[in-house]
Structure 1
Amino acid sequence: MSELRGSAAIVGAYEHPLRVAPEKSEWLMQAESVIGAMADAGLERSDVDAFFTVATSPEAGYLRESAASMMCDYLNLRPRFVDETDIGGAAFGLFLNRAVMAIQAGVIETAVISYGACTRSQAVKVGTRNFGDLIGRPTMPFPDAFMEPYGTTIIGYIGMLMQRQMFEYGLTPEQSAAVAVTARQYAALNPDAFARRPITVDEVLSSPVIASPVHRLECCVITDGGGAIVLTTPDRATKLRKEPVWVLGFGEAVANSSGGYADWNRDFAGITRESADRAYAMAGIRPSDVDVAQVYDAFTIATILGLEGLGLCAPGEAGAFVEAGGIAPGGPLPVNTDGGGLCSNHPGRRGLFLLIEAVRQLRGEAPGYQVADPEFALVYGTGSAYMGVQGSAVAILSKDR
């Protein structure tokens, strides 16, 4: 897989500045983001020959089929191929991997990965309804139908993950709360972040319990949002208006590749480590080389488990590392520098915004919260078909090839 290292670059990135946009549709949010990313790259829509997206839509229950082809029609694109494979927040990492492979194979030259959703304005209930209700279909055809009828929800699953981490490694409520406090520290520096007011550990722990031991302020914000990135060949990348951000390595994994669903925490950490190890090996770096990390944080426990699964902290040590300021502004490992899903935005699938923020940091385009001269950025997305049926994607990006 070494031939894939540096075989494609991100040359355009755009994040829609609105977090609440009742006057816009998810399609318009996404279209404006694609146009913004193409302008950032200095390319035209006619240059696009691959298009990747998924969409969130309350009108269709939760998932809208044919999102990619519908967006191509909306934007008047005629790509050679499209993909809308959806594994939740990790989908955008998979899209990145496939775009890189297609570019390296010579099948395409320029790819766009985009997303748009008006989840907050359209009052989509994220994380607190069972899967059958969300998609508006009977539960029996699904592999997890033995669980779903009993009311297990995403937030209930997260509560069990945190309980297990507390039991097995001694994670404290204060350490988990410190993740949310740190996210607000970054968000306070980001003018586009949804929740910018600083908070304290005591405030987090005094907020309502949503699924014991998870408090409301340990859950992501629910916002509208849109974004897009553009990838292209090395030859084209070096001729455009901005310095390219190179994809040095990537990896992906699914839950059953780490041993089944008997232990959700083990599965979460296992697939994270599998995808990270593959990305590190392709990029030729170690976890200690990472300068800035964007870790999917729909909940504080996701950051804790992500840091450990990625090898950035030893098992059981992430809580103390965060509590000591390890991922905070000025700390040794800046994490979720825009405020993350906990504070900046989370329209339903946040994986694309992790890539956009990594590009900003590597380009030096994050005024007010810029990490000092980062060389390697790690992007980690996770997502689920349903609860423990997880998918993971890790990418290593750099400003140098």
Structure 2
Amino acid sequence: MTEVPGGVAIVGAYEHPTRYAPDKSEWQINAESAKGALEDAGLTPAHVDAFFTSSTASEGGYLGGCAAVMAADYLGIKPNFIDETDVGGASFGYYVNRAVLAIQSGMAKCALITYGANTRSRNIKVGTIGYNQLSVQEVLPTPDSFEQIYGTTVVSFMGMVAQRYMHDYGLTSEQLASVAVTMREHAALNPQALYRDPLTVDDVLNSPVIASPLHRNDCCVISDGGAALVIVHPDLIPETKKKPVRILGFGESYMGHGGGLTDWAAESREMVKRACDQAYRMSGLTPQDVDTAMIYDAFTLNVPIDLEGAGFCGIGEGGAFVADGNLRLDGGSLPTNPDGGGLSSNHPGRRGIFLFVEAVRQLREEATGRQVPGARTALCTATGAAFLARRGSAAHLLGV
């Protein structure tokens, strides 16, 4: 049995307010986010002895390789423990896990996790970059070489997964569209959200098809942005300013071809399930104990798949679950992404860190205008890609 993380807590959380910042570099957004999270925690850079960060390097991020070393130097900190594990947008969930392990091991007492990107202002088309656009020198003989030559993109991969889910389980475009509509309803309550205008199912279905069956409004927005978290050993909690949010359980999992052909749709769900099952076992909680969920909605499809994997509905029932209004702040059984998510609020390229920021706001009762009443527990799930079918998921249960 995995040991429950003993009192390790998130004590600082900050989301950079920008959605378009052509006057700011990725470094500056990263630093301003770090400053905001440390101030939120009531701690200083001198407290930080573990550091984690990630750059949107595949889309030309300035930090690029050695991001943790470069950013630590830029921030003027000297951590004992650093990491920049790259699992795409799920990287930040993995950092939370490693921060807990570093603290439990005695290597650190205060971990800082940061992210910053100016993807929108640099006009980077996240998710639509063809991997065959890399130069010949950059294309190494790796497992994805047999896919790169066909120009596969993230969105085309997700379109294929959606087609399979529709074939196997009867998922419909209308059900997926309802996810985008709900996220836009929530974004209307968030003054920082990129898009806040009303959206209907017809609006989604009438928007251009990007990768059949996914329409433009089934895909996340592209924004600038940044965020940071501060995670500490319980010994430091008396020095902090606000209600600590405990990390009750966590898990992570991986999917790939496994040496043969894979049902990407089913394996995506099962990967999420493996990560969530670890988190449930560690925390002693069940899906029925969760008050609100933060799901990485790079595409509308991610939401029903993750809900099935997390045990909120049966296999093949995710479409009906989202279409029946269960995600809505207004009367839903599982209010999801109250900030508007990646579909309407922000998505600078890697959104996993923003799930934690919103979860902390909800559990501290700081989400003015979009507060989930009585929220005591939150589930965060994020899936990111190393390359399309080689993907990883992270799951977390947080509570107060």
Query: TM-score band, normalised by the shorter chain?
Result: over 0.9
Separation of aligned partners in 1, 2:257 and 2:157: 20
Matches within 5 A, 1:185-204: 185-204=185-204
Q: Secondary structure in 1 aligned to 2:379?
A: strand
- Once superposed, what is the RMSD of the aligned Cα atoms? 1.8
Separation of aligned partners in 2, 1:350 and 1:389: 18
1:241 paired to 2:241: yes
- Per-residue CA deviation, residues 33-67 of structure 1 (Å, 9 max, x unaligned), is 00000000000101100100011258847871011
Check 1:207–1:60 CA distance in 2 against 1; reply closer, same or farther (3 A cut): closer
Q: Report the Cα offset of residue 136 of structure 1.
A: 8.1
Separation of aligned partners in 2, 1:299 and 1:210: 11
Structure 1, unaligned runs of 5 or more: none
Does the CA contact (< 8 Å) of 1:225 and 1:345 recur in 2? yes
The aligned counterpart of 1:324 is: 324
Check 1:261–1:52 CA distance in 2 against 1; reply closer, same or farther (3 A cut): farther
Separation of aligned partners in 1, 2:53 and 2:171: 36
Matches within 5 A, 1:216-365: 216-256=216-256, 261-330=261-330, 331-365=332-366
Separation of aligned partners in 2, 1:322 and 1:48: 41
Does the CA contact (< 8 Å) of 1:258 and 1:270 recur in 2? no
- Per-residue CA deviation, residues 106-149 of structure 1 (Å, 9 max, x unaligned), is 11010001100000001112111222436885334221111110
Matches within 5 A, 1:97-116: 97-116=97-116
1:127 paired to 2:123: no
Q: Secondary structure in 2 aligned to 1:312?
A: coil
Does the CA contact (< 8 Å) of 1:4 and 1:100 recur in 2? no
The aligned counterpart of 1:148 is: 148
The aligned counterpart of 1:184 is: 184
TM-score normalised to structure 2 length: 0.96
Does the CA contact (< 8 Å) of 2:81 and 2:102 recur in 1? no
The aligned counterpart of 1:5 is: 5
Check 1:368–1:69 CA distance in 2 against 1; reply closer, same or farther (3 A cut): same
Structure 2, unaligned runs of 5 or more: none
Q: Report the Cα offset of residue 151 of structure 1.
A: 1.5
Does the CA contact (< 8 Å) of 1:7 and 1:100 recur in 2? no
Check 1:30–1:186 CA distance in 2 against 1; reply closer, same or farther (3 A cut): same
Q: Report the Cα offset of residue 241 of structure 1.
A: 1.1
Q: Secondary structure in 1 aligned to 2:13?
A: strand
Matches within 5 A, 1:65-80: 65-80=65-80
- Per-residue CA deviation, residues 292-327 of structure 1 (Å, 9 max, x unaligned), is 000010000011111111111211111111111110
Does the CA contact (< 8 Å) of 1:4 and 1:101 recur in 2? no
Separation of aligned partners in 1, 2:135 and 2:48: 31
Separation of aligned partners in 1, 2:260 and 2:308: 19
Check 1:257–1:161 CA distance in 2 against 1; reply closer, same or farther (3 A cut): closer
Does the CA contact (< 8 Å) of 2:27 and 2:63 recur in 1? no
1:43 paired to 2:20: no
The aligned counterpart of 1:392 is: 393
Does the CA contact (< 8 Å) of 2:63 and 2:70 recur in 1? no
Q: Report the Cα offset of residue 260 of structure 1.
A: 5.9
Separation of aligned partners in 1, 2:62 and 2:301: 24
Does the CA contact (< 8 Å) of 1:270 and 1:309 recur in 2? yes
TM-score normalised to structure 1 length: 0.96
Q: Secondary structure in 2 aligned to 1:3?
A: coil
Over 3 Å off, 4+ runs: 1-4, 57-63, 134-138, 256-261
Does the CA contact (< 8 Å) of 1:260 and 1:267 recur in 2? no
Separation of aligned partners in 2, 1:58 and 1:316: 33
Q: Secondary structure in 1 aligned to 2:103?
A: helix
Q: How many percent identity over aligned positions?
A: 54
Q: Secondary structure in 2 aligned to 1:190?
A: coil
Does the CA contact (< 8 Å) of 1:295 and 1:306 recur in 2? yes
Check 1:207–1:59 CA distance in 2 against 1; reply closer, same or farther (3 A cut): closer
Check 1:239–1:59 CA distance in 2 against 1; reply closer, same or farther (3 A cut): closer
Does the CA contact (< 8 Å) of 1:131 and 1:386 recur in 2? no
Q: Secondary structure in 2 aligned to 1:37?
A: helix
Matches within 5 A, 1:204-215: 204-215=204-215
Amino acid at match of 1:102: A
- Per-residue CA deviation, residues 212-266 of structure 1 (Å, 9 max, x unaligned), is 1110011000000000000001121144211100001000010049896511012
**Larger deviation: 59-68 or 239-248?**
59-68
- Per-residue CA deviation, residues 271-291 of structure 1 (Å, 9 max, x unaligned), is 100000000000000111111
Separation of aligned partners in 2, 1:86 and 1:216: 27
Separation of aligned partners in 2, 1:61 and 1:350: 14
Check 1:11–1:274 CA distance in 2 against 1; reply closer, same or farther (3 A cut): same
Check 1:254–1:42 CA distance in 2 against 1; reply closer, same or farther (3 A cut): same
The aligned counterpart of 2:379 is: 378
Aligned residues: 399
Matches within 5 A, 1:8-19: 8-19=8-19
Check 1:244–1:210 CA distance in 2 against 1; reply closer, same or farther (3 A cut): same
Separation of aligned partners in 2, 1:102 and 1:22: 36
Check 1:61–1:94 CA distance in 2 against 1; reply closer, same or farther (3 A cut): closer
**Larger deviation: 291-300 or 130-139?**
130-139
